[in-house]
Structure 1
Amino acid sequence: MSIHVSKSQFKAKALEFFRQIESTGESVIITDHGIPTLEIKPFKQANADPFDALRDTVLRYDAPTDPVGEDDWDANQ
């Protein structure tokens, strides 16, 4: 759950909010006249290789150069 604070509250206690975000991992939503305008949340390092998510998902691929026909798809049955 995130905390909602006004711009003026955030300005006065910014370092306190930063420490809170670092320790709890929860985000802080900054509002302007009650309307959310900014979200501050902990930084998460992205995967270095986008193919890591796909690694080991292909179980078997016998003939990669053979043409694929309509009868070869399981989804059509």
Structure 2
Amino acid sequence: MQTIAINEFKARLSEYLNKLEKTRLPLYITRHGKIVAKLVPYEKETAWEEAKERLAGSVLAYEGETDPVGETDWELLDDPD
């Protein structure tokens, strides 16, 4: 686990971002010895994750949570693309 003080991270931001990109390992940023942030490398989201994010919160009400799911709904779940 690599930790770095926030003031050093701020002064050498570009260097640490390059290192993060190369190593793909998280970087923990500390303030007064306590971890305050975790910086992780970016990973492109899959189409399925993007779709879930777009649909999050789109169901305003669902009254029949125990009702059977329709066949077309199951087909959509089988093929997220």
What range describes the TM-score normalised by the shorter chain of this pair? 0.5 to 0.7
Q: Which has the higher helix share?
A: 2
Structure 1 residue ranges (4+ consecutive) displaced by more than 2 angstroms after TM superposition: none
Aligned-residue offset at 1:25: 0.4
2:25 partner amino acid: E
1:38 aligns with 2:30: no
Share of identical aligned residues, percent?
24
Distance in 1 (alpha carbons) for counterparts of 2:39 and 2:12? 14
Q: How does 1:1-77 map to 2 (within 5 A)?
A: 2-50=1-49
TM-score (normalised: structure 2):
0.56
Aligned-residue offset at 1:26: 0.8
- The alignment covers a number of residue pairs equal to 51
Aligned-residue offset at 1:9: 1.0
Q: CA-to-partner distance for each residue in 1:41-71, whole Å, 9 max, x for gaps?
A: 1111222125xxxxxxxxxxxxxx8xxxxxx
| Structure 2: 5+ residue stretches without partners | 50-70, 72-81
Distance in 1 (alpha carbons) for counterparts of 2:13 and 2:41? 14
State which structure, 1 or 2, has the greater radius of gyration over its C-alpha atoms.
1
| Structure 1: 5+ residue stretches without partners | 51-64, 66-77
1:33 partner amino acid: H
Kindly report the root-mean-square deviation, in angstroms, between the aligned alpha carbons of the 2 structures.
1.8
